[in-house]
């Protein structure tokens, strides 16, 4: 099963909310943040918690 993954847009403020929220630790710290498709389970928790609406479906 292919994992649906998300991408982080340039509206990201690097607040870290997604890093703390992701149950699968699918985010890779960097500029910009990236989502590891091999870890993402498409739960959407990161999308819901992002105050900048910077996480979108890839």
11-35: pLDDT as tens digits:
999 999 999 999 999 999 987 889 9
What pLDDT does 31 receive?
Answer: 78
For residue 1, pLDDT beyond 60: no
State the pTM of this model: 0.85
What pLDDT does 32 receive?
Answer: 80
Instruction: Say if CB 5 and CB 48 are below 8 A apart.
Output: no
Task: Give Cβ neighbours of residue 51 (< 8 Å, ≥ 6 apart).
Answer: 13, 15, 17
What is the pLDDT of the chain when averaged over all its residues?
A: 91
What pLDDT does 30 receive?
Answer: 85
Q: Determine the Cα–Cα distance for residues 24 and 40; give it in Å rounded to an integer.
A: 7
Q: Which fold has domain 6-57?
A: Alpha-Beta Plaits (3.30.70)
What pLDDT does 5 receive?
Answer: 85
Backbone angles phi, psi at 27, to 5 degrees: -90, 140
In the chain, domain spans: 6-57
């Amino acid at each position: 099963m292919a994992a649906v993954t998300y991408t982080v847009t340039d509206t990201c403020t690097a607040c870290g909310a997604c890093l703390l929220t992701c149950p699968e630790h699918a985010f890779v710290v960097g500029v910009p943040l990236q989502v590891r498709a091999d870890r993402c389970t498409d739960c959407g928790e990161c999308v819901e918690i992002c105050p900048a609406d910077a996480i979108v479906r890839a």
